[in-house]
Structure 1
């Protein structure tokens, strides 16, 4: 089969298109013919070594074992089952829950042995992938491409909104609102949890589409008066911030939060380090959450909301598998709205 492998830490030159054997499913696994795989920040940061030192970077302390096939937002058709798996699963269209762990129900995402498909296991930048049968769920939509955009970004966004317990009548700031996680934060916070959303993005060319996703207001982080703009639009401080940017908007986020407000971060595309005055945290009684992925129960709730039409797929551009380098370069461009997809060619 064709697959794209990361051969080491570095730039996109570390992505190589190769021919390798089709994997065999173990007794509790299934073999899936990949139909679509969306791109996430996580596989780019994994390649770039952003999760640790240059020699050991990944979700696990030992770092990534190269070569590794990235890709964690995967949909496809089950074509073979391991000997302990019900044969009736063969032929099903599935979406993959993106990690394995021994954590108890509700705590799977914070277990020490949490291992990610596309980082600790070979992922979806390939024509076939193997994965435990119990982590393969029915696709929420009939389209492989549309169903592939939710797994990591959607689960991360759902968990973020769930952590802050957004409520109807509350106002939530969503940073990076044009990206994969951000655009889903907008939808989930507004259309599932009923909150008012103020979306922050770079350029305002997509503001009408972001409003269609559920944002009440769309502002640019380039504004010199962003804090004042937020407070004026909301008639005062906001209840919560859902952040994927990090340093670039951290100070403003804390400024506009109300006393007792909540700040939840799941990414740091605008800088991984910041200056932080602890007095802001304790004098305003701010609660802070670090957030990555979520639980199986949240994944199921998300799939249900998607199937009911409460959350819609947002796709920016589609690339063939053999253009993975170009796709990752494009992914890092500013101004896109929604997800980037890789499709194996039939």
Structure 2
């Protein structure tokens, strides 16, 4: 049987959206990573960041080739010429750069696994499978480098189970009554609480860096609001762990005191939107896998707060014409009104 020519198979809406998002994310990553490479002193960390930069650069070349073959309008995205001030003073510590790449690799693995599942055409599916493998390798490389330098904050240790057990009471699911003792956290709940502390820590440091270097009052206020929300959420998760005598050790990573604009406001707002989307997904997963009712309610409440922040961010981007619109379908009512009159 003759194999069908892939180019004769039209892209589905899911594939169009996936490719468009992929280009936007990689063009943004290339800008951030390119600036980091200008300043990193630690050669081991620089090697990891260089690998991440090369992945994004190669992705953009592949995506551009697909767009051109499909006569697909290439997104504007971001560029190192327009969206980065390469002459700006150093903004991040080397350790932060490593933690940033590690975090973005985790996010990338989740995103690419979802994009693989929405792809049908061989060339598109193969591209996302390869991207997932590359991102997995990046995560492993960043993890090994971090562990060797003692800068990776590990999840808390607990006792190894020696026997199996079953839930024998509905009280296992309770937790809202302030006058009753809550059962101890289980390992699934601990892992999600700690992971959300780590992701909020990265977000908080980026908000600080973006706030102090943006010339826009709208962006400054938005980033400071994001910083305060991340800080508040970290405290809630940390306090929950401490009630069970579980410490949440974190690596001390940070930013410099530079106030020179480093990245365009369009880029930093898009970046925060991406992190917020990933964070809301994390909260949703955490809520669905937590069995104590107080934890589920907390995640839902905090997710709503993050959603309001996302809405404010979108309003700012629209106000300043920074929000690039994804491809969409044609509005039949609009087409009917605008058709030539015979």
Give the alignment's TM-score, normalised by structure 2.
Answer: 0.27
TM-score when normalising by structure 1: 0.27
Instruction: Determine which structure has more spread, i.e. the larger CA radius of gyration.
Output: 2
More strand by share: 1
Structure with the largest fraction of helix: 2
